[in-house]
Structure 1
Amino acid sequence: MGMSTTDQPWGCPNSSSNITSKPSRNSSSHPRAPVEVVSSAQANFLRHFKRFDTVEDFSDHHYVSKGNASKQHSKTWVKKVQVDWKIFLENNLPETISVRACESRMDLMRAVIIGAEMVHYHSGGLRINPNLYNCGKVCLSLLGTWNGNAREQWLPQESTMLQLLVSIQALILNQKPYFNEPAYGRTKGTPSGEAHSKFYSENVYVLSLRTMVYSMRKPPKHFEEFVRSHYFERAHDILKAANGYIDGAPVCSIVKGTSQVESMKFRTEVAVFMKTVVDEFVKLGVNELEDIPEPPPVIHTDTSR
């Protein structure tokens, strides 16, 4: 049986997928056999990327200047961290979380957390959120950075880093981050609350596009290929979603009777900045990207008459 295979290296045209077909000997008298879609090199890389590993160089870590490698930790602390690494992180991380720990600085760790499919940022990368501060602080009861009952706090004998990472993924990276702010949570489902949430999500989406570009241009150490492969695989979906927003699709539910002025501003900002995002996708070797539509012009009406 004959076989034809196209197999391009990283960054070459059509490298988003390798197609293997198995036609019959006499294609004129027999129907063509199904086409088997073989994963791209980037998809294979992501599939085999180690979810947990230890590294030495964390020179670009946000908290690298907060301590030093010569600091002596207690034996109890070291043992607890080693148990976390070996039992919980090395063997039990979900597919959507990858971690790198530093052997010479056991107090440092870096994680990539991919949110749920319904989270509307679509990048699966970094997110702007009321619980995630620009200074690096994560607001979460489990970390002691927010009030909570005793069972929600960090319990040295019970709590684990796996528990923390999964909590960030489930509790923080959600579809409507506006309501993560406790003061706003009680307005969820009200016209005012949903309108503010929509406006907040629009701003966050534009900021997440900027974060996306920054990540592609300057990926964190030990996740360089992960970031490039991730965006290579997601590029078409990201662009499709952005084009939908430019055409008027809401980031979250549209509240009846609310002003659409913010949405027009949002659509324009997405259209403008997606050109930069697409440029970065092209640098990764992504091809056959659909065009970015122009948002409709803003029509001003005179309501004073």
Structure 2
Amino acid sequence: MKPSPITPLILGRGRAGQAIAHAFNWLKSSGAELAEPRFVARGTNWEEACRGVARPLACIANPHGLHTKALLEVAGAGIGFALCEKPAAVTMDELAKLRDLPTRVGILHGYRQSWGVAKLKELLDSGALGRLVAIEGRYWQASAAERALNPSPQKTWKDDPALSGPFDTYLDLGTHWVDAASFLAGAAPEKIRAFRSIPSGSPSHRDAHVQLSIHYPHLTAMASVSKLIHGAGNHFEINLLGEAGTATWNFERPDEIRLGHGREMRLIRRLKDSAGSGLPPFHGLGWLEGYVAIASGMVAEMNGVSKGAYPTLPEHLRILRPMLDADWI
């Protein structure tokens, strides 16, 4: 007997919630057995939301400070699978509550699912770069820069620490970069030292520029993470610095890696269709590629086809713990 289709139930109608809906609609249009995604109203009981739904998949995309509460409610309703925007927790107390969550949770760290980060890992594991000395990079945007030029910026949920948690840029963008670096390092950070800058007139929790020194068992990574870069787009970049070579991937050129040896540099380009959307090189979905890849992995796991290859909650908590326990300088 053919199983009932999976129904994505999405909490949150902002940019992330819409991205999740687009990802599932893309998979559905590509032949996946999925029901139309449904948006769950704020405050809805999850057991009520699942009424009449044979195979629910909870998707958490509400404000950061509400993620833990939502995941606990999803688990309490007996829902076996969920996707969650990062960060899953914004305090150490919340992190502890998620440690033994029975629900299988995928975290929407889309950059880790990209061709570029996967190719960097392949180069590293092949020995093409020699011994890895350091990982360095940046994640730059311009939203705080634009806000700084506005004499009367519009209030958003990120201005309320009850909704955003005690950080802005650090957990919003920094978690993505630390996740990708940790995947490449093959370990969770042992310790993080960090500096942050809060723009004049902004609430004390709205850090806009952060510099990170991330200490792993065998190397150190350094990153500049910022929403205060005037003129920036969505500049996510990772550099692997090896004794025998250097490799660089930049999200704004998603299907290319710059590979350096000595004084020479060459480009490696993606030649095959995307593992997420299935689209050819230089014709991908951009930011949505990661959402499609993670959603596809979760659907495959729910259907018993394969163990989903996507960032999981336990992995996320292992990088989130040192981030929440960082030494601020």
Shorter-chain TM band: under 0.3
More helix by share: 1
More strand by share: 2
Q: TM-score normalised to the size of structure 1?
A: 0.26
Q: TM-score normalised to the size of structure 2?
A: 0.25
Greater RCO between the two (CA within 8 Å, min separation 6)?
A: 2
